[in-house]
Structure 1
């Protein structure tokens, strides 16, 4: 008798302007591919590294210098992230980023994408990372968000119409607040079956092991009511 297919949900709490979240996304994708006997559903949940950025955004260079204190420190940090990203197939172009956006609207679109299924939402999340970190696009710009939504398989005119309103702004802010109440202070955070949190851009093997172990425990009925 063939064993039933194991399944698992992974909620990825992230911000689309977090470089570690982009690295984490790549590593999670590799981890899922390494465990083909587990059906993994990935759901993207919002987090804002800085919700105080105004809707029109801030000059990236000025913002980052104010945040990290010196150009030398910033270059050192970017160099390290760029090296780690290259290993995962990411071509970080920090010099090409001119705007630090408020990401509330990007998270609203990701929330709407979930109604079309995990695959569409996943495509959109990956596209947002690419647009910001590799192409230097302003993902606070509604035109950029709408185009990306269309590429991911959403109805672009509907997204444009909804972005023009404040639809789901409070819901997204509420989810961000919930993450904080859960003790999530940094991202990415991978939440397995809504119960087990793995913090940070862990390596692929660590994520794959977590998928295997938690899926097996779920299959044995050990997570119920846990």
Structure 2
């Protein structure tokens, strides 16, 4: 299945393209709802539980194509309610072979369009240096927190061990976590140094990782 054909270069294609995007989302909402054996009312109830009510009649009108608009916030809430991702509603990979990525363009593979929308093309990190930094920071932060928390748990276990064997085991594991924590903190420090060098704001650190930043701060790139 593909989206409808279009007249390349025809300005009339613009509203038709918008209608096709909304139709794909509506079709995927309905397919997903049916897959879960939910009524439209059940989906409306889930949206209300999330905190953004979308009435049953609005969902029914959307699915039937009688609704002229589909706000982005509703796509986000519907995706959460249906236990999927907004991108899967906009770009239903596996259910629609091709989509028209933008008006006045030829259809492309749905997965390719999804990667474009999400900024996951081959050059997405090179094109967005700050995004690259903050993805790296989030990953390094996660590893550092895991190691530090693991070290603390094993310290607690060693202090409360019921015998020497259990204590020795906890201490060995604690030492392993301590080594991992040191490496993770060093990696996090390097990432933060790169962010500071580019003059970008540094993300906040939890108190347990306050020692990652040097006391004198980071040198900034003044070029």
- Which structure: larger Rg? 2
TM-score using structure 2 length: 0.23
Higher relative contact order (CA 8 A, sep 6+): 1
> Whose strand fraction is larger, Structure 1's or Structure 2's?
1
TM-score using structure 1 length: 0.23
> Whose helix fraction is larger, Structure 1's or Structure 2's?
2
